[in-house]
Structure 1
Amino acid sequence: MTTAAARERLRDRMLDLDPQEFEVLCKVVLGDELRTAGLAVTPASQDGGIDIEGRLDYDWFAADFGVQVKRYAPGNVVGNDRVHRLAGALVENGYALGTFVTTSSYSDPAKQTAEDLPIQLVSGADLASSMLRTGLGVTERDGDYELDATFWQDLHESDERVPAGEVPLGNDLGKVRAVLRAIRATGGTRDEVRRWIAANAGYDLSERHVYINANSATVLGLARKEPSAGDEATRWGLTATGAEYIRAQPGSVPARQTLRRAVRSVELVERVLAAAADAGELTKAEIDDLIAAETTGLSESSVERRGSAVRTWLELLPEIEVEGPRTAKAYVYDAERGDSSSPESF
């Protein structure tokens, strides 16, 4: 195919994607075009109008940004109202910059509005041109292009399975909260968090367990990895939801509600809950089997450890009732159970 034909074929291929696959595609292209930290597709149940989020990370500049993506037919032009809605979502969710990506195009008023706001517009033609320039989704030889079948298949599979990094290991939410408090009180590096917990929480955490609990907080959307400050140390910061959770009194209704919303927003928890709703109940072994089937990059022993964390998180939700002895627990789904107001330690 010529360059022009390849550009049109890419736009057609984008329209064949489902909305979730298109979000993943846009994330991949963004990651190739920009130097970012923590780039991720946001959970569908808690995206607040933002489909992808990340942080620009340059030597003299860093800023959080949010991206909204829409897979529209070519004649469905994005209007001014959509750009204004994105601007509102950016403010509401605390992002400094925004990008709107669509497979179609934009009206002139939409373009003018975006120029007056910290919003970049990316059309279907722009997206296809970027992919051709960087070689994403296509192969090229002597100016002749073909679609890269492996790329599009991998894109489909990556949308269906949860990466290992998004599967929690922290099964003690009290320690997750302690790590969040330490992040708030320090610069957020592993060593600073470890030393703060030793001085203020009455116990020690190894650097590995600091990472496990900080990563679990990140999966919950309560923390996020921050760009390095020149020392190459891994560091974390609180998200707006994480700050809200820490401000609430431990065990209070606001703390429980915030944590439960966070747990429900985790993609793997969503899938386990859906399976429990369909089956009525799940055993420990069935949950572990589901985790193994729905994730990538986990060994059998890792599935067991992460299954423990997922089950602990499930027990926080009022729609899940645990029945049976410890060695043979069943996780029973009951949609009619109300939100409990009993005190909790988290």
Structure 2
Amino acid sequence: MKRSTAKAELLDQGLTIDHEQFEQLCKMVIERSERTRDLELTPFRGDGGIDVHAVIDRDLFHARLGVQAKQYAPGNTVGARTIRGFKGALSDQNYHIGTVITTSSFTSGAVDSAERDYIRLIDGDHLAGIMVSSEIGVVENEGSYDLDPGFWNAFEKPVRDDVIPSLEVPQADNFDIVRTVLRAVDAGADVKPAITEYVRTNEADTFDPRQSDYYAIAAWLLEFLHKDEQVTIDGHDLRRWGLTRTGEEYLAYLDRGDQDAADDLLYRQLRDVEIISRVYNELEAGGTIVRSDISDVIAAETELSASTTDRRARTVGEWLGLLPEIRTSGRGPSQEYVLVP
């Protein structure tokens, strides 16, 4: 397709993802088009108008960058009031420079306000132009452009459908390692070899590379990680991972020693994982289930083989048993899970 068509397609794609994913998209665009460090989604929903944080280091200056993302439909323009509010957020949180990115456009009042306060505005056309020029979300071949499915597949989320994909039945049962994987990604170790090395150094020296996939997917199911586009390393296509806003929030609680808040957030995310939700429904109906019942739910709700369902039932049981309202006893297929009033 032509460049103009590619830009239009990119904006359409930017409107099909949800708002938090659009913030992730803005983060990915910044990462690929600017030299930054400490690039991250701000960890809390009460973020004061700052959606993405970064530090820009150059030979002659050092600056904290705050970014606000506005996923607006065409015709829903960003006005001067938004820019004034953003200026206040930058000042309150000690940011030196700011950028507002939108899929739509800005009113003339917003442009005037931004120019007075040295705030950079990126409208939908400019955003799409950056993405095309940097081949973000598109690939160029002899002057023609195509959407990059590998890039946009990164915005897949766990499905809510009749049949749960096998990928969404967890295989990672050690939550200390889940937390270590989150810290690995936060430290920039965001692909399988780097995650493996980080976990071996900081948590478990026998950690197998295959487990990196299991644990990253587990964190994705909990919506602590999001998929980033694939990269090629030593001839292998590898998935990159990034922290979601919820993942940033979880680590922030842990870093400041607020274990109760971290646990409450983890429990909320656990209950929202589809396979956990369906097993939980069975538990609520009877008050008690055993691990073989979990196997039955997995067999009925997924396309996993019988031998695989038994192995996954153990992990699902471990996840279920983390919830404070559930008491466990026994071992093996007869291990019991009781919902405590």
TM-score by length of 1: 0.54
Tell whether 2:77 aligns with 1:77: yes
Taking structure 1 as reference, are residues 76 and 38 closer, same or farther at Cα in structure 2, changes over 3 Å only? same
Tell whether 2:221 aligns with 1:221: no
- Partner residue, 2:154: 154
CA-to-partner distance for each residue in 1:14-56, whole Å, 9 max, x for gaps?
2222222222211110100112223223346453433222222
Contact 1:21 1:159 in 2 (8 A): no
Contact 1:75 1:104 in 2 (8 A): yes
SS of the residue 1:220 aligns to: helix
- Partner residue, 1:3: 3
- 1:22-33 to 2 correspondence within 5 Å? 22-33=22-33
- 1:237-316 to 2 correspondence within 5 Å? 242=256, 260-261=260-261, 264=264, 270-274=268-272, 279=280, 311=322
What is the CA distance between 1:326 and its match in structure 2? Answer: 9.6
Distance, in Å, in 2 between the alignment partners of 1:166 and 1:108 is 51
Distance, in Å, in 2 between the alignment partners of 1:333 and 1:277 is 17
Distance, in Å, in 1 between the alignment partners of 2:40 and 2:338 is 30
Taking structure 1 as reference, are residues 77 and 271 closer, same or farther at Cα in structure 2, changes over 3 Å only? same
Task: Give the number of equivalent residue pairs.
Answer: 247
SS of the residue 1:168 aligns to: helix
What is the CA distance between 1:106 and its match in structure 2? Answer: 0.7
What is the CA distance between 1:3 and its match in structure 2? Answer: 1.7
Distance, in Å, in 2 between the alignment partners of 1:32 and 1:5 is 22
Contact 1:15 1:71 in 2 (8 A): yes
- Partner residue, 1:144: 144
Taking structure 1 as reference, are residues 123 and 47 closer, same or farther at Cα in structure 2, changes over 3 Å only? same
Contact 1:24 1:159 in 2 (8 A): no
SS of the residue 1:23 aligns to: helix
Letter in 1 for 2:179: P
- Partner residue, 1:168: 179
Tell whether 2:202 aligns with 1:208: yes
Distance, in Å, in 2 between the alignment partners of 1:261 and 1:62 is 34
Taking structure 1 as reference, are residues 325 and 60 closer, same or farther at Cα in structure 2, changes over 3 Å only? farther
- 1:57-96 to 2 correspondence within 5 Å? 57-96=57-96
Taking structure 1 as reference, are residues 321 and 57 closer, same or farther at Cα in structure 2, changes over 3 Å only? farther
CA-to-partner distance for each residue in 1:56-94, whole Å, 9 max, x for gaps?
233443333332211111111100111122223334444
Letter in 2 for 1:95: Y
- Partner residue, 1:54: 54
Name stretches of at least 5 consecutive residues in structure 2 with no aligned partner.
161-167, 169-174, 182-200, 204-242, 299-310
Letter in 1 for 2:327: E
What is the CA distance between 1:5 and its match in structure 2? Answer: 2.1
Distance, in Å, in 2 between the alignment partners of 1:217 and 1:101 is 21
Contact 1:78 1:107 in 2 (8 A): yes
Distance, in Å, in 2 between the alignment partners of 1:102 and 1:82 is 12
Taking structure 1 as reference, are residues 155 and 274 closer, same or farther at Cα in structure 2, changes over 3 Å only? closer
- Partner residue, 2:304: none
Letter in 2 for 1:35: R
Taking structure 1 as reference, are residues 50 and 142 closer, same or farther at Cα in structure 2, changes over 3 Å only? same
Distance, in Å, in 2 between the alignment partners of 1:165 and 1:41 is 23
Distance, in Å, in 1 between the alignment partners of 2:6 and 2:34 is 23
SS of the residue 2:83 aligns to: helix
Letter in 2 for 1:271: Q
Contact 1:167 1:219 in 2 (8 A): no
Name stretches of at least 5 consecutive residues in structure 1 with no aligned partner.
171-206, 210-214, 224-237, 246-255, 291-299, 315-319, 335-346
Letter in 2 for 1:221: A
Contact 1:71 1:104 in 2 (8 A): yes
RMSD: 5.0
Distance, in Å, in 2 between the alignment partners of 1:113 and 1:18 is 28
